Structure 1
Amino acid sequence: MSEPSFASLGLSGTLAAACKDAGFDTPTPIQVQAIPPLLQGRDLLGLAATGSGKTAAFALPLLQRLAAGKHLAPRRTRVLVLVPTRELSAQVGEVFRVLGAGAAHRLKIAVLFGGVSVNPQMMNLRGGADVVVATPGRLLDLLERNALRLDAVESLVLDEADRLLDLGFSAERERVLAALPAKRQTLMFSATFPPQVEALAASLLHEAIRIDVATEPGAEPAIVQRVIAVDAKRRTELLRHLVQEGKWERVLVFVATRYAVELVAGKLYDRGVYAVPLHGDMSQGRRTEVLQDFKDGRWDVLVTTDLAARGIDIPGLAIVVNYDLPRSPNDYVHRIGRTGRAGAAGMAVSFVSAATEAHFRLIEKRQHMTLPREQVPGFEPVDIAPEPLPGAAAGGIKGKRPNKKDKLRAAGTK
């Protein structure tokens, strides 16, 4: 059986050529399964590993439907893509621009996110936009200013749908949904989909097709996962040792707080490692600059919070380090998914101390895996696990109730 092509999935010659120009040689499994039903206007829930081409899987059929549909005058928004972070909004918008550049009817794509002045985005919306890619908070701000309307939206996409469906986004999500037509195509894409949001997803979808290529044999990214036992107070020293001795380049390091971002990046830099911080307290301009410089290879190590855990594509990212373990097993999947993308090999390293061993065992249980613990000579741990507090939940796995961090993320400030 011949390998499928973009043209064989029902895409136009223009879009097939755009795929080739973008370096997409053959469609990925999620694209093969999602594009035909999306061209038919079906609702869809798609699960696929990070780096598997989910953005193009929905952008390509929506661009074709836009080209085939009636062009509204004045220009009205027909496709709305909701994303949880500012960085992801810019990335998704760029995919639409690149793949839609050859359309006979020039499409206008607006990318809306907070952390920057609202005025340029309002100016850009003058004359309307065919496609809007937005974080919920900034979208609502512009709706309140009457800068755009959503009553002509034909297709709604929730990218990183599990994040947008959790409690942290509930108020903003409901207000956006109230501004949309009841009759529309709804698409949801993510690498993970916890059971607690399944019912809510079902209520927003109509006779949806469910595609799950994340669990198919061979679908897992080629990521080598390592767990290194180390005392918490020696993690920075161990990280410096691994980077310098292993000559690691383009390393993404996840820590728990913004304070830790600055602290770890600063200590690494002082010890001769080209490390840079990235967190939500930075201006959007600075965040964009740091991320681009890291992609361009001007820094070897980027230290960040879960701000960069979802959707961000960093070509050639070789190594992810969980300096602090993620609170949620699902966040573990998204974090390590920053490497091993598009068929490339990658490595994910997690530091585990005596105090976090129980938490990592729960992550292993939820992810149906067991990983050996390594020790690096000279960094053998000596600490002993503390006694758990009476009634404390083992491992600290994140529950459903949003905390302060969740609310900040929902507001687009994380």
Structure 2
Amino acid sequence: MIFEELGIFEPILRALKAKNYTEPTPIQAKSIPLILEGNDLLGVAQTGTGKTAAFAIPIIQKIQKLITNGRGRPKIKALIITPTRELAIQIDDNIKGYSKNTDVKHAVIFGGVPQGKQVNQLKQGVHILVATPGRLLDLISQKHINLDAIKIFVLDEADRMLDMGFIHDIKKLLKILPTKRQSLFFSATMPSNIVQLSRTILDNPKRVEVSPESTTAETIKQYLYYTNKNDKKDLLIHILKDQKIKQVLVFSRTKHGADKIARNLKKHKIEAAAIHGDKAQNQRQKALTQFKASQIRVLVATDIAARGIDIDKLQYVINYDIPNIPETYVHRIGRSGRAGEEGVALSLCEPEENVYVRDIEKLIKKKIDVVRDQPYIQTDKPMNASQRKDAEKEKQRKKQEFFANRKKQQGGSSKRAPKAKGTGKKINRRR
């Protein structure tokens, strides 16, 4: 199948040809005709399946037809909600590319940055607005955004939206939106709470489902390092001694872990930065921009922050922590070896993660090559249930001891300034 068979009009086809898009992905082939027909849609698809184009292309086409005879300042006709700033920016970039031969105006808004530029763009008028929930509701409350003219509503990455605690924001938003609209709902998974949410948004929807990726690209070489937990940081330094690895995306399970990895790399004179949900938007964008420009050699990311990262010709990916969900491994290493390019995926496995490797190999139906010629071979044994319980207790004990000692030190070293009589205010000793 080719894009010309999906009912897409010529201005968008020209834009797709400029991007060297020839054949639609399964989610695009199934979704685009249904959306163009005006159906509500329930899409079950992960990031990386091409779903942004699946909803962006028909939205641009439908809006272009709506505004052909329109006059005055553009009003928001389509609203796309997504959980992270990176995804919002990526969606807006894609819309920019697909709509370049049309009159459709678009904008993206997200938190973590001053709102001035975003508000100025909104004042000029837009047809398609991509937004994260918090900033959207904030600007609505300030009367900078009016959603009365909305014709199409998209909720993207719904499961991640709920994981990040946006359910109350979504419910507030649904009360503001016009009831008469076309709604598109996308989620990688469909647990009961997501199913329930979809029922409050969609009206007699068509369902489109794309199976999660279970195979890895043949162009990606996969290698596994069995090591001990305490040796991982040294093993990573050892691997990065290879100067052929000029740009690498490292995955960490936690935000704290990402920061710790980046600090250790910088201590060893390796340019690195971490991105995750606790970083300010300008910090995340700066790190990503520097990484793309090869000013930073290593970018350490959590899975949530990595959504929306799309780097051309990225060759190396390292799993510092093995994911406990096999599909996540497939998605992570798929960041490399894109568009037929060669990629290399390296995974550092501590004893407790051995079971995750077995699950991954079962999913991808192949054994990952083990690197045995390395100085940090795994010697520790995985803990049993009782040992894990004891280890967790010891971890909590040390944590409590640490904070108790810190509180004690702070209390002993800092003296409160006396209060002036009758004022309730502290006396300023400085003159």
TM-score, length-scaled by structure 1 = 0.82
Match of residue 134, structure 2, among 126, 137, 156: 137
CA contact (8 A) 1:49 1:221 kept: no
Question: What's the CA shift for 1:72?
Answer: 6.6
Question: What's the CA shift for 1:82?
Answer: 0.7
CA contact (8 A) 1:310 1:335 kept: no
* Structure 2 SS opposite 1:116: coil
2:370 maps to 374
> Which amino acid in the other structure matches residue 194 of structure 2?
V
Change (3 A) 1:20 1:290: same
Comparing 208-217 and 67-76, the one that deviates more: 208-217
1:237 maps to 234
* Distance in 1 of aligned mates of 2:213 and 2:225: 29
Q: How does 1:332-351 map to 2 (within 5 A)?
A: 332=329, 334-342=331-339, 344-351=341-348
Q: How does 1:88-107 map to 2 (within 5 A)?
A: 88-103=87-102, 106-107=103-104
Match of residue 169, structure 2, among 172, 196, 218: 172
Question: What's the CA shift for 1:158?
Answer: 1.9
Change (3 A) 1:361 1:264: closer
Which whole-Å deviations, capped at 9, do the CAs of 1:313-355 have from their partners, x for residues lacking one?
1222223222124466665454344334445454443322123
Change (3 A) 1:170 1:342: farther
* Structure 2 SS opposite 1:92: helix
Q: How does 1:197-216 map to 2 (within 5 A)?
A: 197-215=194-212
* Distance in 1 of aligned mates of 2:336 and 2:195: 27
Match of residue 308, structure 1, among 305, 308, 330: 305
1:403 maps to none
Match of residue 56, structure 1, among 53, 56, 59: 53
Question: What's the CA shift for 1:215?
Answer: 5.0
> Which amino acid in the other structure matches residue 87 of structure 1?
E
1:79 maps to 78
Question: What's the CA shift for 1:80?
Answer: 0.7
* Distance in 2 of aligned mates of 1:367 and 1:45: 26
Question: What's the CA shift for 1:127?
Answer: 3.9
* Distance in 1 of aligned mates of 2:185 and 2:222: 28
Structure with larger RCO (C-alpha < 8 A, sep 6+)? 1
Which whole-Å deviations, capped at 9, do the CAs of 1:216-275 have from their partners, x for residues lacking one?
898x65555544321111112212222333722331112234443333223224435443
* Structure 2 SS opposite 1:125: helix
Change (3 A) 1:182 1:369: farther
1:28 maps to 25
Question: What's the CA shift for 1:301?
Answer: 1.6
CA contact (8 A) 1:355 1:385 kept: yes
Overall identity of the aligned pairs, in %? 37
> Which amino acid in the other structure matches residue 62 of structure 2?
R
Which whole-Å deviations, capped at 9, do the CAs of 1:197-229 have from their partners, x for residues lacking one?
2343244322322222335898x6555554432
Aligned CA-pair RMSD? 3.1
Change (3 A) 1:47 1:249: farther
Change (3 A) 1:250 1:209: farther
Change (3 A) 1:87 1:73: same
CA contact (8 A) 1:321 1:350 kept: yes
* Distance in 1 of aligned mates of 2:150 and 2:112: 26
Unpaired segments ≥5 residues, structure 1: 396-414
Alignment: residue pair count: 386
* Distance in 2 of aligned mates of 1:35 and 1:286: 36
Question: What's the CA shift for 1:94?
Answer: 1.2
* Distance in 2 of aligned mates of 1:73 and 1:238: 61
Unpaired segments ≥5 residues, structure 2: 393-431
Q: How does 1:10-29 map to 2 (within 5 A)?
A: 10-29=7-26
* Distance in 2 of aligned mates of 1:198 and 1:365: 30
* Distance in 2 of aligned mates of 1:40 and 1:289: 41
2:6 maps to 9
Change (3 A) 1:90 1:232: same
